[in-house]
A and B are shown apart, each in its own frame.
Chain A
């Protein structure tokens, strides 16, 4: 098995996919860093200060005023209220929710890329892992070796897992290094709050915990990685089912984008919560943002994702070991 994984890694590296992904991430991080930098500057200009407390207080007042408008949808109102309560909590405990520095940028970058950007990057690798062997015709050589088919597929899957781990690492490292140029490399020990519970009545702060940012980041990374793994496994399955890489990518892309759209409008369609794509924003639970559909919790989302993952694995392996190769 080790040798097979070496084979797959060799092919992956020779295709230079990871390099391409690193480049894409790098370019985007530069863009985001610049955008963030501009945002900070604008805020400073507007308020004439870079005192975070003043900025946060101003945000609280702004949010309160938005809440006073009676044209808000109930949902949006609730979200605003929760974010308001959170900000007030941070302010009351004298904790900066966005301690400036590369680690905070990294956290924001991760939280914003968990449901679309990182999965997209993962797709680049996952969706042609099997189908490219078909399109190149090498599958005929691969499957006529004295190696059981499931082992061949397993070696590919393990390689995918490793590649996903590397992609998440690349995203982390690049966002840290690049944003640090602008925001500085400090702030690992900055405090951050987690454990906000969103209930019907609003925000429950009784379970709030204080964490160092680096601990929080490691957890964020774990969640991002899990999401990437599930999305990767699903594209992997499509790659097994559909011999065309482009078609597999298209299906996956449609699913991911529909997830982003659905999250914004399904709050009344309750059973939509069983779709994998509305469950991708796991880091939001850590943050305490309200879920897109009532009743969704971290364990619920993890369970839904796990079931999709398991189903994708089962389908991939059954189809791959049974199917005739023409």
Chain B
């Protein structure tokens, strides 16, 4: 170990000492300085869709898309993807953007986000569930049967749905959109009959809106849950359970073509 080696290490130490001291000074200065460089407000849109192999699915919507209530955590989207993988022998790329408790208002916001738009843009299939939280208010059931009130909610919802589907079409003209309709989780309750009526009406109007767009398929689920509803519901008596999701997934799967 020569003296020169020690000296060299010392000098390197001094150099780094000064460098880090500078870094510290800069960090503090920068932290409290103004705004030397602001981030680009509009991003450069070189968002070329990546070279895709296989099928691309983008799912948007509420807790049904998320799969809440499914013990396996897959939801109808997960089951559907599994089935499609098996049927098509292709890789399936899934982007699940479902958010628990999302209402049509919120989804309207979400689909306007540029990245969500991009995800829709690259999809071959877009899956949508929405409206349940508008109508049932997060599982509380219908607050009242004041038809005026419900009409107002539905009007708003239909407007949102129209917008959402427009937005999807704007981003992607090719993809098939499967819009999954509502079922009535309260069908076996006291006022189940009245509620069913409202849900049927709701679904009918939703299907009408969907029909206004090319390649948008309204997928009814009302009938799936009409009999023995409690066998297919999770303990919260609102979301489907694993079996329930499987029913929905099978119905959607039967409609998918490629």
Query: Could you list which residues of chain A lie within 8 angstroms of chain B, going by C-beta atoms?
Result: 5-6, 9-10, 13-14, 18, 47-49, 51, 53-54, 56-58, 61, 64-65, 68-69, 91-95, 161-163, 165-166, 168-169, 191, 193-195, 207-211, 215, 218-226, 285-286, 298-299, 302
- Kindly list chain B residues whose C-beta atoms are within 8 Å of the C-beta of A14: 1
Judge whether B91 and A220 touch: CB under 8 Å.
no
Residue from B22, B23, B32 having most chain A Cβ neighbours under 10 A: B23
CB distance from A161 to the nearest CB of B (A): 6
Complex interface residues of chain B between 87 and 110 (CB less than 8 A to chain A): 91-101
CB distance from A257 to the nearest CB of B (A): 25
- Kindly list chain A residues whose C-beta atoms are within 8 Å of the C-beta of B47: 53, 94
Q: A10-B6, A51-B50 provided; 14 other pairs, C-beta below 8 A?
A: A9-B13, A57-B115, A68-B99, A94-B43, A95-B39, A166-B16, A169-B16, A191-B39, A207-B35, A210-B39, A211-B30, A211-B37, A221-B20, A222-B25
Given A53-B47, A92-B114, A195-B31, verify A166-B99 contact (CB < 8 Å): no
Judge whether A48 and B92 touch: CB under 8 Å.
yes
Give Cα distance in the complex from A207 to B47, angstroms: 27
- Kindly list chain B residues whose C-beta atoms are within 8 Å of the C-beta of A92: 43, 113-115
- Top 10 A-B residue pairs of the complex, sorted by shortest distance between their CB atoms: A222-B23, A94-B43, A162-B13, A222-B24, A219-B27, A48-B93, A225-B20, A165-B16, A68-B100, A165-B17
Query: Could you list which residues of chain B lie within 8 angstroms of chain A, going by C-beta atoms?
Result: 1, 3, 5-7, 9-10, 12-14, 16-17, 19-28, 30-32, 35-41, 43-44, 47, 50, 54, 66, 91-101, 113-116, 118-119
CB contact between A209 and one of B25, B28, B37, B99 (< 8 Å): that residue: B37
Judge whether B44 and A94 touch: CB under 8 Å.
yes
Given A9-B9, A221-B20, verify A208-B98 contact (CB < 8 Å): no
- Kindly list chain A residues whose C-beta atoms are within 8 Å of the C-beta of B116: 57
Judge whether B1 and A93 touch: CB under 8 Å.
no
Judge whether A222 and B40 touch: CB under 8 Å.
no
- Kindly list chain A residues whose C-beta atoms are within 8 Å of the C-beta of B98: 61, 65
Give Cα distance in the complex from A168 to B13, angstroms: 10
- Kindly list chain A residues whose C-beta atoms are within 8 Å of the C-beta of B99: 61, 64-65, 68
Given A94-B43, A162-B10, A210-B38, verify A13-B5 contact (CB < 8 Å): yes
- Kindly list chain A residues whose C-beta atoms are within 8 Å of the C-beta of B91: 48
Q: Is the interface of B mostly helix, strand, loop or mixed?
A: helix
Give Cα distance in the complex from A298 to B19, angstroms: 20
Given A5-B10, A13-B5, A61-B96, verify A223-B38 contact (CB < 8 Å): no
A sample of 30 inter-chain contacts (CB < 8 A) reads A9-B6, A10-B1, A10-B6, A13-B5, A51-B50, A53-B115, A53-B118, A57-B95, A65-B99, A65-B100, A68-B101, A92-B114, A93-B41, A93-B43, A161-B17, A162-B14, A162-B16, A163-B13, A168-B20, A169-B20, A195-B35, A208-B38, A209-B30, A209-B36, A210-B39, A218-B26, A219-B26, A222-B26, A225-B24, A286-B31
Give Cα distance in the complex from A13 to B94, angstroms: 56
Judge whether A6 and B6 touch: CB under 8 Å.
yes
- Kindly list chain B residues whose C-beta atoms are within 8 Å of the C-beta of A209: 30, 35-39
Give Cα distance in the complex from A94 to B3, angstroms: 53
Judge whether B24 and A226 touch: CB under 8 Å.
yes
Judge whether B66 and A47 touch: CB under 8 Å.
no
CB nearest to B92 among chain A residues = A48
Judge whether A210 and B37 touch: CB under 8 Å.
yes
Judge whether A13 and B101 touch: CB under 8 Å.
no
Judge whether B6 and A221 touch: CB under 8 Å.
no
Judge whether B16 and A222 touch: CB under 8 Å.
no
Judge whether B5 and A47 touch: CB under 8 Å.
no
Give Cα distance in the complex from A223 to B95, angstroms: 38
- Kindly list chain B residues whose C-beta atoms are within 8 Å of the C-beta of A53: 47, 115, 118
Given A223-B27, A286-B31, verify A91-B115 contact (CB < 8 Å): yes
CB distance from B61 to the nearest CB of A (A): 11
- Kindly list chain A residues whose C-beta atoms are within 8 Å of the C-beta of B50: 49, 51
CB nearest to B54 among chain A residues = A48
Give Cα distance in the complex from A285 to B30, angstroms: 12
- Kindly list chain B residues whose C-beta atoms are within 8 Å of the C-beta of A65: 66, 98-100
Judge whether B37 and A58 touch: CB under 8 Å.
no
Give Cα distance in the complex from A70 to B137, angstroms: 16
CB nearest to B52 among chain A residues = A49
